[in-house]
Amino acid sequence: MMTYQEAEAFLFEQLPMFQRVGGAAYKKDLHNTVSLLQSLGNPHLNKKFIHVAGTNGKGSTSSFLASILKESGYKTGLYTSPHLKSFTERMRINGIPISNDEVIQYVEKFKPIIEELKPSFFELTTAMAFDYFAKEEVDIAVIEVGMGGRLDCTNIIQPEVSIITQIGLDHQQFLGNTLEEVSREKAGIIKEKTSIVCSVLESELKLIIKEVAESKNAPFFDSSEKYKIEVIEESVPNWKFSAKSLTNYKLMEFESGLSASYQIQNLTSVFTALDILKAKGYSISEENVKNGLKNVIDNSGIKGRWQHIVNDKSQARIIADTGHNITAFEHLIKMLEKEDFEQLHVVFATVNDKKLEGVLELLPKSALYYFTQANIPRALDAAELKAISSQYGLEGDSYPSVVKAFETAQKNATDKDLIFVGGSTFAVAEIPNL
């Protein structure tokens, strides 16, 4: 039998993986996914799911819901991507990752199928997740869309409820060059007569999603019309929030393990989806909701969302966030502006197929930058990133690895400074102590 390291290496190196190589891994139809699942006996059929799409916020929203369902006593699967440290993070049951032994068994089982179908990494892992959740007999699984929605290989499920979080420009080469085109791709997850929760703020984009819902006789819920979420206190370690129902005006105060202002939009989706689930007969108490929101990190394993990192080199505070597009950085810059520091140090990396201009225009010119690159083929070269960034008034040195850039920032920062790590999920993943 192969080792786990060999199994993981096989998955990463033998299968086209979008996070590593980009467009070469993207398949524009569901044929391979359907064939893979048929070979496994269609484990996704007649199962309970929640389907979550969006440019930003889908990982947080999925994690909140999985945590609340776990606290409610349901055996809950959670499928998310990409992973940060280990492949096993991608599929969890009640917060516990799939075991190394299970991954080894799946890789050995799939080898003949791989040779025949030549699936992408995401096609194979999606089929693996559905089979794993069925084998373990979960009560319900929360499924995060990989990219887009209409052609995403998760889009073969019949969910209890679908959710579309935030819309922004990302992966334009696949999803479209306008927000309207991206919205139509995301709306592709809407199923006939299946409730769709939408937390998109832009009225013209919301209208597109609503029109798709109406064409499929799917009940449409605008989460901003259902709940008002407000920050009560930016306390440590968890912010305190309030959720007010705009239907019955009931007020609930709670703590959130994911503490950032950009979570407000996601939380409206969560509370609206919970109402739909409860109307379907799911038993979810107020205490379950409070515990699920507070314990979301422990219950889901989510990382890299405005995460405070332990600094083992100095007293400077460190925050990391996996947000990597314009919409995400609009939120992140507002968060940074609220922080108290003398000097901001930014460890920054990105990939070579992103449109950088909008993000670079947003970044603070007063910060000291440590331009670097993640250890993936798709990474933009650090020296090239530095040269491009200098055109936008962003100054700093380039470093060949995230660890080197991060350690240098730690060395340079005083106890009154702040270090921010971002720009790429894969850069955040390489931080020690994450």
Number of folded domains in the chain?
2
Same domain? 68 vs 199? yes
Show which of 196, 224, 252 is a domain's final residue: 224
Q: Is residue 382 part of a domain?
A: yes
Same domain? 311 vs 162? no
Same domain? 314 vs 416? yes
CA atoms of 1 and 146, how far apart (whole Å): 30
Bridging pattern class, strands 344-348 and 418-422? parallel
User: Token pair for residue 188?
Assistant: 């592709």
Task: Provide the pLDDT for residue 345.
Answer: 98
Task: Provide the pLDDT for residue 30.
Answer: 86
Q: Is residue 73 part of a domain?
A: yes
Instruction: Show Cβ contacts of residue 105 under 8 Å, excluding neighbours closer than 6 positions.
Output: none
Half-sphere exposure of 8 (CA within 13 A, CB side): 14
C-alpha of 155 from chain center: 17
Show which of 209, 224, 239 is a domain's final residue: 224
User: Token pair for residue 111?
Assistant: 């080898």
Q: What is the pLDDT along the chain (434 residues), one digit of tens a residue?
A: 799 999 998 888 777 654 444 444 455 678 889 999 998 999 999 999 999 999 889 999 999 999 999 999 999 999 999 899 999 999 999 999 999 999 999 999 988 888 888 888 889 999 999 999 999 999 999 999 987 788 889 999 999 999 999 887 554 555 546 888 889 989 999 999 999 999 999 999 999 999 999 999 999 999 999 999 999 999 988 999 999 999 999 999 999 999 999 999 999 999 999 999 999 999 999 999 999 999 999 999 999 999 999 898 888 999 999 998 888 899 999 999 999 999 999 999 999 877 888 999 999 999 999 999 999 888 999 999 999 999 999 999 999 999 999 999 999 999 999 999 999 999 999 998 88
Q: Is residue 101 part of a domain?
A: yes
Same domain? 186 vs 63? yes
Same domain? 190 vs 321? no
Q: Is residue 244 part of a domain?
A: no
Whole-angstrom distance between the N-terminal and C-terminal Cα of the chain? 31
Q: Is residue 240 part of a domain?
A: no
Same domain? 85 vs 182? yes
Show which of 172, 189, 224 is a domain's final residue: 224
Task: Provide the pLDDT for residue 175.
Answer: 58
**pTM of this structure:** 0.94
Task: Provide the pLDDT for residue 27.
Answer: 54
CA atoms of 199 and 188, how far apart (whole Å): 16
Domain of 119, CATH number, reads: 3.40.1190.10
Q: Residue 77 in contact with residue 298, Cβ under 8 Å? A: no
- Domain encompassing residue 183: 4-224
Same domain? 208 vs 333? no
Task: Provide the pLDDT for residue 114.
Answer: 81
Same domain? 338 vs 202? no
Domain of 361, CATH number, reads: 3.90.190.20
Q: Residue 195 in contact with residue 161, Cβ under 8 Å? A: yes
Same domain? 185 vs 323? no
Q: Residue 165 in contact with residue 143, Cβ under 8 Å? A: no
Same domain? 335 vs 220? no
Q: Is residue 220 part of a domain?
A: yes
Q: Is residue 391 part of a domain?
A: yes
Same domain? 211 vs 313? no
Q: Is residue 411 part of a domain?
A: yes
Same domain? 19 vs 147? yes
Task: Provide the pLDDT for residue 199.
Answer: 96
